[in-house]
Amino acid sequence: MKTRPPLTRARLRELLHYDEGTGEFRWWKRAGDEVCLGDVAGFVRICVLGRTYRAHQLAWLYVKGRWGRPMIDHRDGDPTNNRWSNLRRATASQNGANRGRPRDNSSGYKGVSQSRRSGRWEAYITKKRRRMHLGTFDTPEAAHAAYVVAARRLFGEFARAE
């Protein structure tokens, strides 16, 4: 079985053009019958030479000349927004801190849940896969305020409260 050589910055720039202002990749050179020059290559995932890559990783390779490791974070949390100004390197913990409120959250606040036993509101935060209890509060707003303080302290610019 033949192994494909890794995608390089030079090869990527031969095939695609990345617009840092819009975050779009467009085909620069035909790479198959289904590709037309100037077409948008994709938004979240892009297939290049038979291999699928995440668009934000391709943007990092295109601009910086290396893969974005450990990972690339979208400042606004939108995986389709690959504008250069919206991308930054992050650890897994920082990337998690920049996620929005989970869909199954019933309190309406990130990092807040209601205790089944006491009925009071608990605040918690996770860093490096460790969940830390921040306290128990009378209102979800008070619990959320504790979460916001802890998130800013632990994650700085990566903290997202909503």
| pLDDT tens-digit map of 91-126 | 988 888 888 888 888 888 999 999 999 999 999 999
The 8-class DSSP code of residue 81 comes to -
Residues 34 and 7: their CA atoms lie apart, in Å, by 20
Q: Which pLDDT value is given to residue 106?
A: 82
Region of 77 please: left (phi>0), alpha (psi -120 to 50) or beta. left
Domain 100-158 - what CATH class? alpha beta
Residues 149 and 140: their CA atoms lie apart, in Å, by 14
Residues 41 and 21: their CA atoms lie apart, in Å, by 16
Domain range 9-90, CATH architecture: Alpha-Beta Complex (3.90)
Q: What is the mean pLDDT of the chain?
A: 90
- Buried-exposed string 128-147: b where 16+ CB fall within 10 A, e elsewhere: eeeeeebeebeebebbbbbb
Q: Are 122 and 146 in contact (CB under 8 A)?
A: no
The per-residue pLDDT for range 16-49, each reduced to its tens digit, is 999 999 999 999 877 666 777 878 998 899 999 8
Q: Which pLDDT value is given to residue 32?
A: 64
Instruction: Identify the three-state secondary structure at position 26.
Output: strand
Q: Domain ranges for the chain, please list them.
A: 9-90, 100-158
The pTM of this model reads 0.79
Same CATH topology for 9-90 and 100-158?
A: no
Q: Which pLDDT value is given to residue 1?
A: 59
Residues 40 and 33: their CA atoms lie apart, in Å, by 15
